[in-house]
């Protein structure tokens, strides 16, 4: 999760696979009651969260400090998430006490309408240090209020033969194994991994602790550069949108599909781009985009687990204006097995102008399709002006017609087009060509 390295090697995966349904935990973990199925979301601290109609059962909220975040998406329940980075001093007793004080302050700061259900710790413990991690969790468990649930994220190699995973699970009410970024290092292309319920259900269920499956619904942009010695350097871009790449003639494109069903868009840099000095001729740029297929297959696989599987958690809730990550409404549609809307959706938000009627226009990109689209927007009356604002830069053909060119693989979410100014109030109509 986040900018982390996942310690999972092929050797461990083969060993775990060989164990299969015959896997038995080598240490005793007290059996828990099974949980009802819930759909959750991780929301990471940073920019304001994207708005959505979709309401998850559980929102896992990464927090910093001791103030409850304002303007969170609605959810039935909330779990406080604290990330422990490998570069930190690790899970010490002092860290446990500080974490508990932070948690109690957050619960006290939350309004009465917010149901804070417990605490989740996100720590990529080295597999050979799970016993130490278990001691840390015992300290946390002891200091939490009795009604508070304790959850942990989990790496898949923790469940290999002869590990001390039982030392971790005996103190928690829930664990969330993550089925993405499973390589020795984060890859430039590809995030999600196929989920084999037939293999993993027996392994997880043997511990008789409820668990939810962590599923990827986010994307990534990465630059790959090879130096003179043949060494490959990968740099990840958090502030580059797929659209900024999709319209560049200096970036010829090829497409393939990952094993997890994602779209992998590959660009070769064949000429300098003045606006993108971080890209040089000879570089490659890989864009990973989640798809209906990748999310649907992961969710359906999770539903097949049965046993102690208590739902899924999607990573992650997007920030406002983000175009690399599925909007929660889209994820809700996918898990409900509803088809995507084929047309483009335009939203006109009333804006304040002196002595004029103003509307800020936004367009929903929908699915990141392989074919570009040309959209015409007609108004019921003349516009006095249109002020483009955003990556698409619509062209005003007449005072009542503008054209928007949406490139293929432009990303997801809602993108601002600009502000329409008119003497009288007007209506907007979208026509795809």
The DSSP 8-state label assigned to residue 128 in this structure reads G
d(CA 91, CA 94): 8
d(CA 218, CA 317): 9
Structurally, the chain folds into a number of domains equal to 3
Q: Is residue 117 part of a domain?
A: yes
Q: Is residue 313 part of a domain?
A: yes
Question: Do 278 and 178 share a domain, yes or no?
Answer: no
Q: Is residue 2 part of a domain?
A: no
Question: Do 151 and 165 share a domain, yes or no?
Answer: yes
φ, ψ of residue 176 in degrees (nearest 5) = -125, 95
Question: Do 423 and 369 share a domain, yes or no?
Answer: yes
Question: Do 53 and 69 share a domain, yes or no?
Answer: yes
Residue 117's CB: how many other CB atoms inside 10 A?
19
d(CA 284, CA 266): 7
Please list the residues that pair with 345 across neighbouring strands.
Answer: 364
d(CA 187, CA 219): 12
Q: Give the mean pLDDT of the chain.
A: 88
Inform me whether the pLDDT recorded for 390 exceeds 90. no
Question: Do 256 and 141 share a domain, yes or no?
Answer: no
pLDDT at residue 16, rounded to an integer:
43
Last-in-domain residue among 309, 335, 361: 335
Q: Is residue 1 part of a domain?
A: no
Helices (H) and strands (E) in the chain — how many of each? 8, 21
Question: Do 406 and 331 share a domain, yes or no?
Answer: no
Q: What is the average pLDDT across 361-380?
A: 83
Q: Is residue 3 part of a domain?
A: no
Question: Do 149 and 273 share a domain, yes or no?
Answer: no
Q: Is residue 184 part of a domain?
A: yes
The whole-model pTM stands at: 0.87
Q: Is residue 54 part of a domain?
A: yes
Residue whose token pair is 């982390």: 4
Please list the residues that pair with 266 across neighbouring strands.
Answer: 254, 286
Inform me whether the pLDDT recorded for 267 exceeds 80. yes
d(CA 72, CA 93): 31
Q: Cis bond leading into 316, ω under 30°?
A: yes
Question: Do 276 and 295 share a domain, yes or no?
Answer: no
Residue range 274-292, pLDDT digits in tens: 989 999 999 999 999 999 9
* Domain carrying residue 164: 10-218+291-335
pLDDT at residue 3, rounded to an integer:
42
Residue 31's CB: how many other CB atoms inside 10 A?
10
CATH number of the CATH domain containing 385? 2.60.40
d(CA 248, CA 383): 30
pLDDT at residue 269, rounded to an integer:
97
CATH number of the CATH domain containing 90? 3.20.20
d(CA 78, CA 111): 12
Question: Do 51 and 111 share a domain, yes or no?
Answer: yes
Helices 292-303 and 328-335 meet at what angle, rounded to 10? 50
Q: Is residue 131 part of a domain?
A: yes
For 104, counting Cβ atoms within 10 Å of its Cβ (0-12 exposed, 13-18 middle, 19+ buried), the class is: middle
Look at strands 58-62 and 77-84 and give their pairing.
parallel
Question: Do 190 and 175 share a domain, yes or no?
Answer: yes
DSSP E strands, 355-413: 357-364, 373-379, 385-388, 395-398, 401-406
d(CA 180, CA 185): 12
Inform me whether the pLDDT recorded for 363 exceeds 50. yes
Question: Do 81 and 32 share a domain, yes or no?
Answer: yes
Question: Do 71 and 194 share a domain, yes or no?
Answer: yes
Give the chain's end-to-end CA distance (angstroms, integer).
Answer: 41
For 18, counting Cβ atoms within 10 Å of its Cβ (0-12 exposed, 13-18 middle, 19+ buried), the class is: exposed
Residue range 293-317, pLDDT digits in tens: 999 999 999 999 999 999 999 999 9
Inform me whether the pLDDT recorded for 266 exceeds 80. yes
More confident residue, 99 or 24: 99
Q: What is the average pLDDT across 63-89?
A: 88
């Amino acid at each position: 999760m986040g900018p982390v390295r996942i310690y999972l090697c092929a050797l461990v995966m083969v060993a775990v696979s060989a164990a299969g349904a015959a896997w038995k935990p080598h240490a005793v973990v007290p059996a828990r009651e099974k949980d009802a199925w819930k759909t959750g979301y991780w929301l990471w601290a940073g920019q304001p969260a994207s708005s959505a109609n979709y309401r998850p059962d559980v929102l896992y909220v990464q927090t910093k400090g001791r103030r409850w975040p304002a303007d969170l998406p609605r959810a039935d329940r909330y779990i406080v998430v604290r990330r422990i980075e490998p570069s930190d001093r690790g899970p010490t007793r002092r860290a446990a006490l500080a974490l508990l004080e932070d948690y109690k302050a957050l619960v006290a700061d939350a309004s009465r309408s917010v149901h804070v259900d417990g605490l989740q710790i996100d720590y990529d413990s080295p597999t050979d240090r799970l016993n130490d991690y278990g001691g840390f969790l015992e300290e946390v468990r002891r200091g939490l209020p009795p009604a508070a649930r304790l959850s942990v994220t989990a790496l898949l190699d923790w469940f290999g033969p002869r590990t001390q995973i039982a030392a971790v699970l005996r103190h928690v009410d829930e664990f969330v194994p993550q089925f993405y970024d499973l390589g020795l290092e984060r890859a430039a292309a590809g995030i999600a991994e196929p989920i084999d319920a037939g293999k993993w259900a027996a392994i997880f269920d043997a511990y008789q602790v409820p668990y939810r499956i962590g599923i990827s619904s986010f994307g990534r942009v990465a630059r790959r550069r090879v130096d003179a010695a043949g060494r490959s350097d990968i740099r990840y871009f958090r502030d580059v949108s797929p659209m900024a790449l999709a319209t560049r003639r200096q970036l010829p494109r090829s497409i393939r599909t990952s094993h997890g069903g994602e779209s992998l868009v590959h660009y070769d840099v064949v000429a300098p781009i003045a606006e993108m000095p971080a890209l040089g001729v000879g570089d490659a740029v890989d864009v990973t985009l989640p798809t209906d297929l990748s999310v649907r297959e992961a969710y359906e696989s999770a539903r097949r687990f049965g046993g102690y599987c208590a739902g899924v958690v999607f990573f992650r809730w997007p920030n406002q204006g983000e175009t690399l990550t599925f909007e929660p409404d889209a994820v809700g549609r996918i898990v409900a097995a509803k088809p995507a809307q084929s047309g483009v959706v335009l939203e006109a938000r009333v804006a304040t102008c002196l002595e004029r009627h103003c509307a800020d226009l936004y367009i929903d990109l929908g699915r990141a399709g392989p074919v570009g689209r040309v959209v015409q927007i007609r108004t019921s009356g003349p516009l006095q002006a249109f002020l483009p604002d955003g990556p698409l830069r619509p062209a005003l053909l007449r005072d009542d017609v503008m054209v928007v060119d949406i490139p293929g693989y432009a990303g997801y979410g809602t993108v601002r087009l600009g502000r329409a100014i008119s003497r009288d109030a007007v209506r907007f109509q979208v026509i795809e060509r």
